[in-house]
């Protein structure tokens, strides 16, 4: 079990980040363990995103520059793959074409108008919220960046649960689709949401409630997108996973900006 957990952590970091780890197993068991560990990878990404934003603010920069730095780090740590997946998924959904044609559009290297518009508004929303929170204090901005990173990867754990098919026979979607038992996914979700609420408790009882609700809202939005993609494409792909992560991160941040 310990060996499998080690392989799972390697799988999570090796497939969801550019952090240099060696993935030593690429099978269904390692994929299951890896996707159960996905929020841990998100936690690390969130912490690394919070560091430059916080330092910039502490050394005298404005909150806007701090927000841009915190939004840029997750993109760099994934080589932009999640943002690219978001754009490709938007193009596929917006194409209005049958599933096979939509999947072909998503595999193309270029980005269409739906993808560009979606990327623009998602990144603007992320930067706007982080700027608002950093303007209040560096702690609020930093904790929000960490929470968004963890919840974004939790959405991938839930998307890998049993019963969610792959749209293609190859790629990351096929490697992880249906690998996570529903009970395991729910358990990881409960722990992650509770951790978000605990982080929010740094700002009082209402903070705990707000962080918990923001995480739940993000997961609900990601699940709605997941259902639509499964219905539209016949299953999940690596691009869909990227779209789910960016959706969950953005909705988490927007939820934290309210109230």
CB 182 within 8 A of CB 161: yes
Mean of per-residue pLDDT scores for the chain: 92
Residue 209 lies in a domain: yes
Is there a domain that residue 28 lies in? no
Task: Please report which helix (H) or strand (E) contains residue 160, including its range.
Answer: none
Q: Is residue 144 included in any domain, yes or no?
A: yes
How is 214-240 classified by DSSP, letter by letter? HHHHHHHHHHHHHHHHHHHHSSB-HHH
Q: Tens of pLDDT along 80-108? A: 999 999 999 999 998 888 888 889 999 88
**Within-domain flag for 55:** yes
Q: What integer pLDDT is reported at residue 168 of this predicted model?
A: 85
| pLDDT of res. 108 | 85
CA distances from 86 to 71, 176, 229 (A): 15, 18, 12
pLDDT band at 175 (very low <50, low <70, confident <90, very high): confident
13 falls within a domain: no
**DSSP reduced 3-state for 167:** coil
Residue 201 lies in a domain: yes
Q: Is residue 8 part of a domain?
A: no
Q: pLDDT digits over 211-241, tens only?
A: 999 999 999 999 999 999 999 999 999 999 9
Residue-number span of the structural domain to which 215 is assigned: 39-257
Judged against a pLDDT cut of 80, whether residue 186 lies above it is answered with yes
Q: Answer whether residue 57 is part of any domain.
A: yes
- Over range 198-209, report the average pLDDT: 92
pLDDT (tens digit, 9 = 90+) per residue, 141-154? 999 999 999 999 99
Give me the pLDDT at residue 2, please: 52
Provide the number of structural domains found in the chain. Answer: 1
Of 43-47, 140-144, 158-162, 165-169, the range with the lowest mean pLDDT is 165-169
Residue 130 C-alpha from the chain's centroid:
16
Interval 60-76 mean pLDDT: 95
> In the numeric block, which tokens belong to residue 129?
């919220």
For residue 259, what pLDDT is reported? 67
């Amino acid at each position: 079990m310990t060996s499998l957990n080690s392989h799972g952590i390697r799988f999570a970091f090796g497939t969801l980040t550019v952090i240099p780890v060696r993935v030593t197993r690429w099978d269904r068991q390692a994929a299951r363990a890896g996707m159960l560990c996905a929020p841990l990878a998100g936690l690390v990404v969130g912490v690394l995103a919070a560091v430059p934003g916080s330092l910039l603010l502490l050394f005298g920069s404005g909150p806007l520059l701090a927000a841009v730095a915190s939004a840029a780090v997750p993109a760099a740590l994934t080589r932009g793959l999640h943002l690219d997946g978001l754009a490709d998924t938007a193009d596929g959904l917006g194409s209005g074409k049958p599933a096979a044609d939509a999947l072909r559009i998503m595999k193309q290297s270029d980005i269409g108008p739906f993808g560009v518009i979606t990327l623009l508004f998602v990144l603007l929303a992320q930067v706007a919220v982080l700027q608002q929170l950093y303007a209040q204090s560096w702690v609020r901005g930093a904790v929000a960046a960490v929470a968004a990173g963890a919840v974004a990867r939790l959405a991938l754990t839930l998307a890998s649960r049993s019963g969610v098919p792959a749209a293609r026979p190859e790629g990351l979607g096929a490697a992880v689709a249906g690998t996570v038992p529903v009970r395991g996914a729910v358990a990881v979700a409960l722990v992650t949401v509770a951790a978000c609420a605990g982080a929010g408790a740094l700002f009082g009882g209402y903070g705990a409630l707000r962080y918990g609700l923001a995480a739940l809202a993000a997961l609900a939005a990601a699940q709605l997108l997941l259902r639509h993609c499964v219905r539209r494409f016949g299953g999940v792909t690596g691009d869909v996973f990227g779209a789910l992560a960016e959706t969950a991160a953005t909705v988490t941040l927007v939820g934290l900006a309210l109230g």
